[in-house]
Structures are given as structure tokens and as C-alpha cells.
Amino acid sequence: MTIQSEAPRLPAATVPQFDRNLAIQWGITAITGLLVLLPLLPVFYQAFLDRPLYDSDAALTAANFGRLFTAEFGHVIGNTVWFAIGTTVIAQVVGIVGAILVGRTDLPFRTAFGELLLWPLFLSHLVMAFGWFTMYGPSGYVTLVVQSIIGVTPWNLYTVTGMAVVGGVAQAPLAYLYCIASASAADPNLENAARSAGASPWTVLRTVTLPLMRPAIIYGTIMNAVIAIEMLSIPLVFGGPVQIELFTTYLYHQVFMSATPDYSLVAAASFFLLVIVMLLMALQGMLMRNAGRFVTVGGKASRPGRFPLGPWRWVAFGALLFYVIFGVVVVVGGLVLRSMTVLLTPLMPIWDLFTWGNYQMIAGYEVYVRSIKNTILISVIGGILGTVLITFIALVATRSEFRFKRQLEYLAISPRAIPGIIAGIGIFYAMSYFPPLGWLRNTIWLLVIAYIMRYLPTGFGAIAPALSQISADLDRSARTVGADWWRTSRSILLSLLKPAMFSCFALLFIHFLKEYVTAVFLFAPGSEVIGTTMLQFWIQGDNGPVSALATIQILITVIFVYVARKALGVRIYG
């Protein structure tokens, strides 16, 4: 047999001089490090400086924190805590109940409810806030209708509690998302076992079902608390008019409402917020480690058995229907109606108020058209670049011999603890400190960079699990047949990762489309996005164009999600 004749070989048994794999791995680590540190370092630095960081006379000091912690700031913190608790509790209760009803019971129309409960996840808080304002605000449509029937205004959203209700409903989809996975994966045999042991359905729910969902509940609770703390839109829309300050609006007003923004004070406050969020994240990590024993190990694809609700079926159906109609349909529908009317009021028939004026107004001004174009461009370009970067981060962090791969992974998921508002402020400071970055100011690239940084963890969460599903033997075998790490990554892993990369892109696209907090401090003439333009209109009191822009944003999202799911088969949120 002559199969072992001499043949062209790889240069045998060599330790490469220049290792392109190492170069690429270091390169990706450097990019990730720069992205994450770009906003953080300036905030850290500025927090301890007595003057703006670009001022060459600036000196180190700790006095900023002394100036920060005043009685007024104490009030801000009190409001924020109350808002965060209210939002989290409402979101979690709605999410958990929804997940149990849809995932574990014989609720009628549960598939449709599942979709409707999840859908607001695709919409930005700003849009939700405008929707609530339009329908339930002091002169909102529903408010006026109720007022005309019972004679008084039964609610006031311009309070911390009112904001918490709006926030809670806006965040309920996230709580639902975390819980539905564990609710529908739960092994019905565990529940059946408890029931056959004589436990009533209620006892089973309390002693078996809920404890099994505990990791999801803990995770979602802290996630929602963090999001509530860093939320800008709802406090701004409902607290702004009546001077109720929350943490984010405090920062916002410090920067935008004072003639000479106090850099040091804003940085100190940002630093404080950063520490709080990091502590919450650390708490989450600790709780999750202990929660591990409650995670159900996925049984064989058994169809989850469902609790028969009996006559309560229709009660639950009615309650959920009420929630979905008034929490989702009315809010979004009202916004769409408002965009097509001069004024939305129950006092006049709606067809008399119909107009395309709001849309014509948007189409008529270059700035408004540009903000739509920019938003789409950022979502597409940022989505693509972000997906590529995140994929390679995941490849280095989980599929290489790179010495600092663990650290790279931590770096990539650390932006979870960087609120968008801080990212915006930090990058804004970075630009004032490194003038060369200034040319980015009026382009969309600055936002692309900031957004990608913000959503590294989101994308990583889509790629890394998919990567761990690919057997390590597949790349190990490629290595032994002679492919180096880079070639293996390209020819073997990337091809197998394609579906996950589409999901990652879709997630980034949707997040970039609705993102505005990060942009609030960073946009400039030329780099407006839908969110920042909506805020500007709203401050001027132009609610018509705001609704039109919001409707356009919703429309883009709906079309994108529909096409991605149906035509391309991309998985977004399960």
C-alpha cells in the first residue's frame, strides 16, 4: 500500500514565530477593553476631580461626594427607591402570574396571551410612556372618559406610585420572559407526584411550581430593579412636569437645565449609581449561585401537563384579557390613533379629527427624516458590527487557549452593570477629554460604538449558549487535521453558528432601534435618532409628531420581527 508516500505537508513540528491567532485574540480583547473602559474611566476620574476633566488645573478631591449628598439628593434617592420597588413588584407579579397561567394551566387562548404579554418587550419605554400619557395622562382619552362617567379623576400618574404602575406594566414582559421558560420546562411529573400525594392544586403551586421558578424569579427581580433604577423615560414624562426628581432625571436636569453643567457633581452621582447597580448585580450573582439547586433539569420532551382551572378558567381569562387590553392594546392603539388625529378626545367624534398632518410634518423636516434614517442605519450597521464582534469575543472566550479568556468573558458581560445614562455621560466626557474623538460627534458612529458596548452582554447571551451546544470535538478535530485556531473558527465554528448569529443580530437590531437613553447625551446635529427627536418634540409639547414617530418606530419593529421570525426563521426570545 502506498498511501504513505511523501506528500506536501504542513511545515512540521514548528512553534510559529508570528502567531496570527494570538494577534487576533489580543486584538479582540483590546477592542472589548477599550469599549468598556471608554465610558467608565472618565466617570471614575471625573468623580474625583474638582473641575471638568479637560481643564488642566483640575486636581483630585473627594469633596464632590460631600456636595452630592444633600437633603435634596436624599429626596431623589427616596423617590428612586420607591419607584424601583413599585415597578419591580408590579412587573414581577404580573409576569409570574402570566407565566403560570400561560405555561402551566389550561387557560383559553394561552398562545395568543403569550404573544401579547411578550410583545411590549420590543417597544421602547419612551413609546410606552407616551402611550400611557396619551391615554391615561391628566387629559388622556381614557381619563376623560372615566371622568365624564364618574365625575372625578380616579388616578394621577404624576406621582411616584403612578410612575411605578407605568414602569411595572412596561417591565412585566421581561419578568414574564424569564419565568415562562422555567414554567413551561417544569417537569409535570413533579407536580403530579405532589397531587397524587394528596396536595391541593393551590398547595402544589405554592410548594412545587413556585419554588421551581425561583431562579427565574430572583434573576428577573434584580434585573427589573436595575432597569427601574436606570430608567429615564417614565420619570421624565410623568415626573418632569411636577418636579418629581428620580436619579436619572436628576442627572438629566443637571446636564441639560443648568447653564454650566457641574461635571464633577454629575460624575459623582454617576459613580454612585454605578456602584449601586454593580452591588445589585453582585447580589444577583450570589443569589443565583445558591438558587442552582432549584433549576429543573430538562426532562425528556414530555408535554407539560396542565392544571385544570375549572370554573376559574374564565375568571383568569377575563383578568388577563382586561390587563392585556388596558395595559397593551389601549396604550399602543391610542398612540397610533393619536398620530392620525389633530387631537384625541372623547368630546368629539374621532373621524372629524382625522389628519395625516403629523406624518406630513415629519416628512417635511430634514432633521426628523434624518433621525429615522439614522435609527435604521445604526440598527443595521451596529447590529452587524456588534454581531461580528460578539461572535469573536465568544469564540475567544470559550473556544481558544487564550490565556485571558475568562477575563475577556467577564469584560464582555460587565456592561450589564453600566446603565445607559452612565454610558452616555462617560463617553461624552471621554470626548471632551480626548479631542481626537470629537470628529465622531456628529456622525452615527459614536452611537454605534456606544450601543454596541451597552449591548455586548445581550448579544453574548445569544451566542455563547449556542456555541456551547457545538461539540468541542468538532474544533478539536479541525485542529488535529492541521487548521489553526483562526482557520478552525472561520471554517467550522462560524458556519455552525450562523443561526445564533442571526438571532444575535435580530436582538441587537431591536434594542438599537428602541435605544435612546445612551443617545440623550451623545447625539448632535447629524446624529439624531428617533428617541431623541421624540423627546425634543415632547418637550416642545408637540404630541402629534411624537405619536407619529412612535408609530413609525413600532411599525419598523413589527415588520422586522415578523420578517425575521417568519421568513428567516430567526429565534427572538425563545
Partner 1 sequence: MAELRVEGLVKTFGEVRAVDDVSFRVADGEFLTLLGPSGCGKSTTLAAIAGLDRPDQGLIALGGNVFFDGTKRRFVPPEGREIGLVFQSYALWPHMTVWNNLDFPLKLRKIPRAERAKRIEEVLALVEMSEYGARYPHALSGGQQQRVALARTLVYRPSLLLLDEPLSNLDAKLRERARTWLRHLQNQVGVTTVYVTHDQSEALALSDRVAVMNQGKIVQLADPHTIYEHPADPFVADFIGSSNFFRGTVTGIANGSVRIAIGDGQPLVAASPLRLRDGSKVTVSVRPEKIYLSDSPQANGSDATNVFPVRIEERTYLGAHHTVLVRVGNDSFRVDCDTLPAGETAFAHIPPESCIVFQAQTDR
Measured from the CB atom, the residue of 352 and 473 that comes closer to partner 1 is: 473
Q: Which is nearer to partner 1, 130 or 502 (CB)?
A: 502
Q: Which CB, 1 or 297, lies closer to partner 1? A: 1
307 in helix, strand or coil? strand
Minimum distance from CB of 567 to partner 1 (Å)? 22
C-alpha closest to that of 450 among 378, 530, 367: 378
Name which of 275 and 472 has its Cβ closer to partner 1.
472
CB nearer partner 1, residue 9 or residue 300: 9
Of 505, 523, 373, 371, nearest to 440 (Cα)? Answer: 523
- Residue 396 CB, nearest approach to partner 1 (Å): 16
Number of residues this chain uses to bind partner 1 (CB under 8 A): 32
Amino acid letter, residue 70:
T
**Cα dihedral across residues 106, 109, 112, 113: positive or negative:** negative
The CB-of-8 to partner 1 minimum distance in angstroms stands at: 5
12 binds partner 1 per the rule CB under 8 A: yes
Using CA atoms, how far residue 403 sits from 27, 358, 376, 388, 397, in Å, is: 13, 57, 38, 22, 10
In the list 111, 196, 260, 495, the residue contacting partner 1 (rule: CB under 8 A) is 495
How far, in Å, CA of 259 to CA of 211, rounded? 53
CA 5 from centroid of its chain's CA atoms: 60
CB of 23 to partner 1, least distance (A): 14
Contact flag: residue 496 with partner 1 (CB under 8 A): yes
- Of the listed pieces 10-18, 220-228, 523-531, 563-571, which binds partner 1 according to CB under 8 A? 10-18
Q: Which three-class secondary structure string do you get for 138-199?
A: CCCHHHHHHHHHHCCCCCCCCCHHHHHHHHHHHHHHHHHHHHHHHHHHCCHHHHHHHHHCCC
Q: Cα-atom radius of gyration of the chain, to the nearest Å?
A: 26
Considering only residues 398 to 417 of the shown chain, the ones binding partner 1 according to CB under 8 A are: 401
Query: In angstroms, what is the minimal distance from the CB of 403 to partner 1?
Result: 11
Residue 438 DSSP code: G
CA-closest candidate to residue 230, choices 244, 249, 248, 243? 248
Cβ closest to partner 1, residue 67 vs residue 476:
476
According to the binding rule CB under 8 A, does residue 258 interact with partner 1? no
User: In the numeric block, which cell numbers belong to residue 475?
Assistant: 474544533
Q: Which is nearer to partner 1, 10 or 275 (CB)?
A: 10
According to CB under 8 A, which one of 15, 150, 257, 297 is a site residue for partner 1? 15
Q: How many helices (H) and strands (E) does the chain have?
A: 29, 0
Question: Closest approach of Cβ 387 to partner 1, in Å?
Answer: 19
Is the Cβ of residue 25 or residue 458 nearer to partner 1 in the bound state? Answer: 25
Q: How many whole angstroms separate alpha carbon 231 and alpha carbon 210?
A: 28
d(CA 72, CA 95): 34
Q: Distance between CA atoms of 316 and 254, rounded to whole angstroms?
A: 46
Least distance CB 170 / partner 1 (angstroms): 41
Residue 17 in contact with partner 1, rule: CB under 8 A: no
DSSP category for residue 327 = I
The verdict on 16 binding partner 1 (CB under 8 A) reads yes
Among 216, 448, 492, 508, binds partner 1 (CB under 8 A): 492
Contact flags string 372-401 toward partner 1, x per CB under 8 A: -----------------------------x
Residues 106, 262, 484, 542: which binds partner 1 (CB under 8 A)?
A: 484
Which residues are paired to 354 by β-bridges?
Answer: 341
Residue 37 burial class via C-beta count within 10 angstroms: exposed 0-12, middle 13-18, buried 19 and up: middle
Rounded to 5 degrees, what are φ and ψ at 568? -100, -5
Under 8 Å between Cβ of 368 and 474: no
Measured from the CB atom, is 442 or 491 closer to partner 1? 491
- C-alpha 432/C-alpha 42 separation (Å) is 10
Contact positions with partner 1 (CB under 8 A) in 311-370: none
Q: Per-residue x/- mask for partner 1, residues 454 to 483, rule CB under 8 A?
A: -----------------x-xx-xxxxxxxx
Q: Does 10 bind partner 1 (CB under 8 A)?
A: yes
- Nearest approach in angstroms of CB 498 to partner 1 is 9
456 near 372, Cβ under 8 Å? no
Q: Of the two residues 266 and 497, which places its CB atom closer to partner 1 in the complex?
A: 497
Instruction: Between 100 and 478, name the residue whose CB sits nearer to partner 1.
Output: 478
Q: Considering beta carbons, is residue 214 or 487 the nearer one to partner 1?
A: 487
Q: Does 9 bind partner 1 (CB under 8 A)?
A: yes
**Residue 95 in contact with residue 174, Cβ under 8 Å?**
yes
- Please give the residue ranges that form the binding site for partner 1 (CB under 8 A): 1, 3-5, 7-16, 401, 471, 473-474, 476-484, 487, 491-492, 495-496
